[in-house]
């Protein structure tokens, strides 16, 4: 498929050739009319030639409009792919398991402060992507108008993952604190002797394990499974709208 530049050049050439041909036809008809039939016949031929020129002009405008729309779709698809790539790169950064945070003092609040510092670092990571997702949010309706509903769905999917990550940070904080409180309450006691204690503690640990899969890059990460699904949809939009 020819590039957008080549197609525009061809359009201009076609319009120029069509206009030149119509102009030559117009001149030839008028000259023939004047030579053979006089001014009255030439006027009729002039009208016919004018109509022919108008048709050529309308055809040129329609061709230009078609090229303009295709160019807009190409630009929108290109912008969507860039936004998706930026979001995907941010998710990789945000879920990096190597996270540095300030080590708290070794005192009676050590474990609690360690969780707090860890959660604060996760929050900072999350907030560092706010501009990226604000742009995606502001562009979703433009993408829908130019590229269709699937493009908007890509944007909504990315935004949903970003907000879900924030919710998972809150769950991580609450579960970590709850597990810590359970340790402080039961200590070295046999939790099996306390009704439902062992079951509740195990439930909290299992829930925390699932939350960590979302917060950090993991083979079973629901976040990256969804990102891959959105990537397939974005690639489909790209192939349908970007000119080679």
Question: Residue 160: its pLDDT value, please?
Answer: 95
Residue found under tokens 């078609």? 66
Looking at the fold, whether 88 and 144 belong to one and the same domain comes out as yes
Choosing from 20, 52, 70, the residue where a domain stops is 70
Are residues 66 and 85 both part of a single domain? Answer: no
Distance CA 238, CA 79 (A): 10
pLDDT for 179-188, tens place per residue? 888 777 766 5
SS3 of the chain: helix, strand, coil, percent, to 5? 85, 0, 15
Task: Give me the chain's average pLDDT, please.
Answer: 76
Query: Both 134 and 16 in a single domain?
Result: no
Domain boundary among 43, 70, 97: 70
Per DSSP, the residues of 52-79 read HHHHHHHHHHHHHHHHHHHHHHHHHHHH
Q: Does residue 64 share a domain with residue 107?
A: no
What is the band of 68 on the pLDDT scale with cuts at 50, 70, 90? low
Q: Are residues 89 and 124 in the same domain?
A: yes
CB within 8 A of 6, min separation 6: which ones? Answer: none
Sequence-separated (6 or more) residues with CB below 8 Å from residue 47: none
Residue 38 belongs to domain spanning: 4-70
Among the listed residues 181, 179, 135, the one whose alpha carbon sits nearest the alpha carbon of residue 158: 135
* 64 & 90 share domain: no
Same domain, residue pair 124 and 198: yes
| Separation between Cα atoms, residue 20 and residue 44, nearest integer Å | 20
Q: Is the pLDDT at 101 greater than 80, yes or no?
A: no
pLDDT band at 50 (very low <50, low <70, confident <90, very high): low
Q: Are 118 and 101 in contact (CB under 8 A)?
A: yes
| Statement to judge: residues 100 and 218 lie in one domain | yes
For the record, the structure tokens of 76 come out as: 């929108």
Whether residue 9 is found in the same domain as residue 111: no
What's the pLDDT at 73?
A: 87
* Domain C-terminal end among 25, 51, 70: 70
Contact 242, 77 (CB under 8 A): yes
Residue-level length of the chain: 244
- From CA 196, how far away is CA 148, in angstroms rounded? 53
Same domain, 100 and 178: yes
The number of folded domains in the chain is 2
Same domain, 66 and 113: no
- Asked if residue 208 and residue 92 are part of one domain, the reply reads yes
Pairwise pLDDT comparison (115 vs 1), residue with the higher score = 115
């Amino acid at each position: 498929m020819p590039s957008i530049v080549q197609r525009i050049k061809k359009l201009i050439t076609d319009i120029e050739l069509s206009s030149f041909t119509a102009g030559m036809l117009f001149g030839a008809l008028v000259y023939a009319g004047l030579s053979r039939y006089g001014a009255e016949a030439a006027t009729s031929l002039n009208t016919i030639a004018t109509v022919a020129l108008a048709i050529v002009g309308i055809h040129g405008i329609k061709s230009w409009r078609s090229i303009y729309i295709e160019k807009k779709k190409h630009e929108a698809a290109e912008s969507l792919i860039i936004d998706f790539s930026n979001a995907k790169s941010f998710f990789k950064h945000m879920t990096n398991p190597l996270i540095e945070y300030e080590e708290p003092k070794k005192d009676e609040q050590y474990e609690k402060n360690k969780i707090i510092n860890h959660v604060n670092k996760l929050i900072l990571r999350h907030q560092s992507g706010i501009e990226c997702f604000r742009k995606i949010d502001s562009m979703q309706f433009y993408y829908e108008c130019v590229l269709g509903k699937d493009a908007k769905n890509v944007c909504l999917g990315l935004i949903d993952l970003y907000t879900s990550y924030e919710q998972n940070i809150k769950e991580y904080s609450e579960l970590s604190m709850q597990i810590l409180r359970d340790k402080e309450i039961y200590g070295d006691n046999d939790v099996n002797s306390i009704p439902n204690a062992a079951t509740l503690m195990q439930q909290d640990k299992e829930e925390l394990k699932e939350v960590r899969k979302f917060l950090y890059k993991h083979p079973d990460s629901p976040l990256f499974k969804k990102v891959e699904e959105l990537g397939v949809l974005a690639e489909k939009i790209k192939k349908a709208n970007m000119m080679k």
